[in-house]
Structure 1
Amino acid sequence: MAKASIVLLLLLPIVYFVSTAKSSSTTTPTNFIRDSCSATTYPEVCIKSLSSYASSIKQSPRQLAQAALSVSLTKAQSAKTFVTKLAKFKGLKSREYGAIKDCMEEIGDTVDRLSKSVQELKNMGKSKGQDFLWHMSNVETWVSAALTDDNTCLDGFSGKTLNGKIKSAVRAQVLNVAQCTSNALSLCNRFAGKH
Structure 2
Amino acid sequence: MEHSHAAPGGGPSADVSVRIAWDDDAEAIAGVQVRAWPDLYAGLLPAEVLPTDVEAVGAQWRQVLARPADARHRVLVALERNRVVGFALTSPAVDPDCDPVADGELAEVTLDPAERGKGHGSRLLQAAVDTLAADRFTRAVTWVNVGDDAFRRFLTDAGWAADTAHRELDLDGTGATTVKQVRLHTAIG
Pairwise TM-score range, normalised by the shorter structure? under 0.3
Larger radius of gyration: 1
Q: TM-score, normalised by structure 1?
A: 0.25
Bigger fraction of residues in helix: 1
